[in-house]
Structures are given as C-alpha cells and as structure tokens.
Chain A
Amino acid sequence: MAYTTFNRNEFDTFAQPMFFGEHVNVARYDQQKHKIFENLIEKQLSFFWRPEEVDLTNDRKDFVDLPDHEKHIFVSNLKYQTLLDSVQGRSPNVALLPVVSLPELETWIETWSFSETIHSRSYTHIVRNIVPNPAEIFDDITKNEHITRRAISVTKYYDHFIELSSYYSLLGEGTHTVNGKTIEISLKELKRRMYVMMVSVNVLEAIRFYVSFACSFAFAERAKMEGNAKIIKLIARDEALHLTGTQHILQIMARGIDDPEMAVIAEECRNDVVRIFSEAAQQEKEWAEYLFKDGSMIGLNKDILCQYVEYITNQRIAALGFEPIFASKSNPLPWINAWLNSDNVQVAPQEAEISSYLVGAIDSEVDTDDFGDFDL
C-alpha cells in the first residue's frame, strides 16, 4: 500500500486498527477510537518545558571538582542518554507514521517524538555548561565502542521493521525481486516485527532510561550536579508518560482489541518478549561494569546498579502481564522514588539551588573600610 499524505477513501474510523489500516486523512479529534492517546497528548502538552529554564552554572563548578572516575561515570551516562534520545526523537516518527491508521494515535506519536527532541536539546544544554568543547563529548558517541554497541541493540528492531515496512509500502505483499535480491513480504511478518519493535521501545523507555536516571540522581543525592538532576527529573516525567503510551499500544495489540491477528502474533512472540527484556537487562549490567570500571561513587556501585536493573526489569515485564525474570523483590535504590516523583519538579526559586535567583541579591560582605567615608 503506497503511502498517501491525505487518504481520499471514505472509511469508518472506528473500524480501523491502530496500524496497517487505512492511512489517516483528516486530523480530527472529535471522535476517538482509543481515547487514551488523546489523554496522553493533553498530558504531554501540559508538561512542556525548556532546558534553558534550568540553570547549570553550579554544575560547571561541581563537574570540575569531580574526581576522574566520577567524571567518567557522569560523561558516559550522559552520552548514553544522548544516544537514547537521539534514537527516540526520530524513530517513532519514521517507523510508525507511515503505517498508523488513527488520527489520535498519529498525533500522539508526533507529540511523543517531539518531547524527545526537547530531551536531546537539554543534553546539549548540559554539555555546553560542563565542558568548554561540546564536540569532545558528542563526537565520542559514534566512536566509543561501548556506546556504539549499545546503539546497535537499541536500534536493530527499529531498523528491521523500517526495512520491511518500506518495501511493503512500495510493493505490497508478495515475493518481489529488488536489485536482483528476492524479498518476501507478508503483512503478518511485518506485524510481528512491529510487535517486537514496540517491546524493544518499551524496554528502552522502561529499563534503559531508568538505569541512566539512577546514575544522574546518585550525583544529586550527594548534592552534586543538581541542575542536571533537575533536567533529568523533567525528562523522567515525560518518559513515564511515554512508557504508559507504549504499554497501552502493546496491550491493545496483545488483546487483539482492534486487530485479532495482532493477538495471535503477541501470543507467538511471548518468548521473544522475555528474551528482549533479559537481553536488555544483561546489556545494562555490562554497561554498569563499564561505568564503574575505574571506581564506584558514594551511594552507587556496579552491584547496586545491577540489582536495580533486575528490580526494574521485573517491574516492567510484570506490567505487560509476564512473570518476573529475576528473583529480586525490593528496590535497592529506595531514594530514587523521591527523585523520580514529579510533584516537586517545580519548586519555588528560594527553595533550591537555582543560582540565577541569587543574581540580584545583596553582597553580604562588609569590611571596616566600607565605613571609611562615614562622617560624624
């Protein structure tokens, strides 16, 4: 089915599945098949924020004073976060928009991706503030083998789907020969790739991001890099919403609510889901090893982070209706809840380390010389 930017067919919106139905035409929100996506859009819009709102001048001083192994932890973590949001800022659009069939879902995908671009912009804001030359951090993301290895694991399911989806939109189902290569295109295989891709997106948002948040907040627990933690807090608030969006998409698919074939595929892919979650947990543990290779920091080390990986993996896979993978039960980082909670995202300026609030404040230093020209 060739993609059309404005489908002129007449069809019943409520008969359309989320994906692979009629292409969307009128972007109308007065009738919704899945109202949840409209609610998510509203919520995401109400969360709007800009990185420049957060002052990072104290972070610059904190960063200079960090010991080398903590600089490594901070910068590597930041690079990983930059990678994740670079992927998430474009991939949902590229992969999902050509096959989406509901206007509210289409707009949710766009809103979701847009908020990821804000996250990417905030990493540039952070990097600009902590190092004189941002290129030394950004350029390493495509060179450092530890980061590139992560890049492959977060993008392969996207790429796998997009490849087949592009052929499908050009050629449709069937066996085709392109540049001398035989390509088998079936809608079922495309749906299968879509489902595992969504699982991998869920893993990215629900596990990988949270492991990186734990590192950012561990610095702030020690009153270091607090501006950065404030930004991460705003990002975590958005990610919690994206995670809910992805869980809804996955559950609507798994229950075959609007496409019975999707339920069959989800059932066939149960082992893949467990495998994708386990692989991600293993990769996060390896990453923890790399982060703490030169030493731990107060409050966080490789073992605690690995326990957190297991805990959060169990939580997230249970949310999809699967049995937990690991034995761990309790949260090894109980303080993270307070940082993740968005209730206290917006604080009064006098309550926190917003140094811009002090810019106009009175200089409290008084010297005897200051009384020199007093004449009595």
Chain B
Amino acid sequence: MAHSYRDALDDFELDGQRDNAEPFELEPIEAEQIGTQPQQVELCFPLPNAEHAEQSNQFELDGMAKPQYAIQLSNGQHAIFQHAQTLLDSLESQHIDLHFQCREGYCGSCRVTLVEGDVHYREEPMAWLNEGEILPCCCIPKTDLKIKL
C-alpha cells in the first residue's frame, strides 16, 4: 500500500509533536464473523384487503360514504361490496375464490352468470360474454347482485 496509515500519521503533525505511541494491535477478523453467504431477509407486510377503506385525510361528509351492495352467490355464500376496485377483488377479500387469469378482462376465466342486478364496467371487457354473463375482474356492482357460479 503506497500511502499507509503510518504515513498518514507522519504527515499529520500536531504542534510539531510526533505521536510515538505504538500502533494498536488489530484482532484478525475471521471470515465467519462477516459471513460468506449472502443473507436473504423477507419482510412480511399484511396482505392488503380490497374491502378495507383507504386512509383519507378528507372530511367524511354525511351521506357521502360509499354505498354498500349485497352480493349473493348460488352456493349460499354472501359478500358485501363497498370499497374494492373490482368485484373480483371484493369477493376474494371475503374468501370467495373464483378462477382467474388476466384480471383485466381479456381472458374470460372469471366469467360468472348474473342472475339479478346490474354492473358497471370501467373498461369494456374483451372476452366473449354470453347473455347474462359478467366478468368480475373488471366490473363493479350498480345494485345488489345475485350471481351463479
């Protein structure tokens, strides 16, 4: 090493006084102490729940709360739609699992039959829909719904 610690001390004189103290002993560092294996740490955050209201700093106005819609399924399960971005998100957050793939309306995997009620599509779905079928991955309820799985 061209410019060692000792050289640095030599260069650095305080009031012309040489520091003649012996250099302190360094404990040799064992490789194990540093660790040769890269460490992987996982951070676990709670899974976001689609039906939990988002934190908002805005004042809650009376009568401005998001409407709730009751979802009834042919297998007897129930759910409430209020905060989720899509019907599929809402159902999943309430432990009702549907088949899905693309989640944006082009594959049609999640199609179910709407027995009663009405839905709104944020974007026109591309998958083929027969009469009465809806794609929960890209719609939200406009009324209470009855769905046949």
Contacts and interface: CB of A to CB of B under 8 A. Distances in A.
Contacts of B115: none
A374 B28 CA distance: 11
B127 A244 contact: yes
B36 interface: yes
A368 B28 contact: yes
B101 to A, nearest CB: 4
Interface in B72-123: 97, 99-103, 106-109, 111
A359 interface: no
A375 B6 contact: yes
A375 B5 CA distance: 7
A237 interface: yes
A366 interface: yes
- Report whether over half of chain A's contact residues are helix, strand or loop; otherwise say mixed: helix
B41 interface: no
- Name, among B29, B100, B106, B126, the residue most crowded by chain A CB atoms within 10 Å (CB to CB): B106
A43 B105 CA distance: 11
B64 interface: no
Chain A: interface size category: 20 to 34
A374 B26 CA distance: 11
A58 interface: no
A343 B100 CA distance: 11
A248 B128 contact: yes
Chain B: interface size category: 20 to 34
B8 to A, nearest CB: 10
A39 interface: yes
Given A247-B128, A315-B99, A319-B128, A366 B36 contact: yes
Interface stretch (A89-97, A124-132, A179-187, A333-341): A333-341
A43 B36 contact: no
Contacts of B23: 376
A365 B36 contact: yes
A343 B103 contact: yes
B58 interface: no
Contacts of B44: none
Contact of B106 (A43, A236, A251, A331): A43
Contacts of B29: 366, 368, 371
A376 B101 contact: no
Nearest to B38: A364
Interface in A341-376: 341-343, 364-368, 371, 373-376
Given A244-B107, A342-B102, A376 B5 contact: yes
Interface of B: 1, 4-6, 23, 26, 28-31, 34-38, 97, 99-103, 106-109, 111, 126-128, 130
Given A251-B128, A319-B111, A340-B109, 5 more contacts: A40-B126, A342-B102, A367-B31, A371-B28, A376-B4
